[in-house]
Chains A and B, each alone.
Chain A
Amino acid sequence: DGGITQSPKYLFRKEGQNVTLSCEQNLNHDAMYWYRQDPGQGLRLIYYSQIVNDFQKGDIAEGYSVSREKKESFPLTVTSAQKNPTAFYLCASSASPGPPNTDTQYFGPGTRLTVL
């Protein structure tokens, strides 16, 4: 089965702790993305990576970090510096920017992070 997996589905952490969210894809996609979703605010881009060993900040990168050591994996670390980390986190991937896929993004099932 090809797709994107995110683990865990639910995650709880204590205030002040770092936590890492996993995202793996077996679609052979070049680009990967992390979004944060809060009620009524749509999707906000945290970080994205267009190629291995390279990534760029999105619109709300503060308090987050990522790595892209392998094409298949794009883990997101929520650090203690993130002031309001409780949210639903979505990982996505896309193939090359040219036709036919033209950067269509495909999403994982999401991880709901709750800070206690």
Chain B
Amino acid sequence: AQSVTQLDSQVPVFEEAPVELRCNYSSSVSVYLFWYVQYPNQGLQLLLKYLSGSTLVKGINGFEAEFNKSQTSFHLRKPSVHISDTAEYFCAVRFNAGNNRKLIWGLGTSLAVNP
């Protein structure tokens, strides 16, 4: 079955420290990969996406992610976090098989940035 795993449900980090939020997926078919951010009581906002081409993708707010096909991973990174980065982060994958246009979602990682 196709699945997406976010390996950490909660990540506490100090301000200005680097952070990595991990995302792995199952399946060997081609994929499109997405990271979204959700602030409390709001909708989801697209951070970045990988469709094709360079495996290092840069997004908004200083985030970047690297697609690793052999490890079926798409980890999100930021070299120096701010208090304002405190939010829930979701990884989503579209598995490109047939006419299925659904995204498969991870359960989310709660990033808490402490002063």
How far apart are A44's CB and chain B's nearest CB, in angstroms?
8
Cross-chain contact A107 with B49 (CB below 8 angstroms): no
How far apart are B63's CB and chain A's nearest CB, in angstroms?
16
Tell me the nearest residue of chain A to B49, going by C-beta.
Answer: A104
Give the docked Cα–Cα distance between A112 and B43 (Å).
11
Cross-chain contact A42 with B90 (CB below 8 angstroms): yes
Cross-chain contact B101 with A107 (CB below 8 angstroms): no
A-B contacts at CB below 8 angstroms, number: 54
How far apart are A11's CB and chain B's nearest CB, in angstroms?
13
Q: A102-B51, A103-B32, A104-B34 are in contact. Are A45 and B45 (CB under 8 A)?
A: no
Give the docked Cα–Cα distance between A100 and B53 (Å).
13
Cross-chain contact B46 with A104 (CB below 8 angstroms): yes
Cross-chain contact B9 with A48 (CB below 8 angstroms): no
Cross-chain contact B44 with A58 (CB below 8 angstroms): no
1/0 contact string of A75-116 vs chain B (CB within 8 Å): 000000000000010101010010110111111111010000
Q: How many residues of A contact B (CB 8 A)?
A: 28
Determine which of A31, A42, A100, A109 lies in contact with B42 in the assembled complex, contact meaning CB atoms within 8 Å: A109
Of B13-21, B64-72, B102-110, the one contacting chain A is: B102-110
The size class of the interface chain B forms with chain A is 20 to 34
Give the docked Cα–Cα distance between A104 and B9 (Å).
24
User: Is the CB of B41 closer than 8 A to any CB of chain A?
Assistant: yes
Give the docked Cα–Cα distance between A58 and B102 (Å).
9
Q: A40-B9, A99-B51 are in contact. Are A105 and B41 (CB under 8 A)?
A: no
Give the docked Cα–Cα distance between A43 and B92 (Å).
10
Q: Which of A's residues lie within 8 Å of B, judged by CB? A: 4, 6, 31, 40-43, 45, 48, 50, 58, 88, 90, 92, 94, 97, 99-100, 102-110, 112
Closest 7 A-B residue pairs measured CB to CB? A107-B43, A42-B107, A107-B44, A43-B105, A109-B43, A42-B105, A110-B43
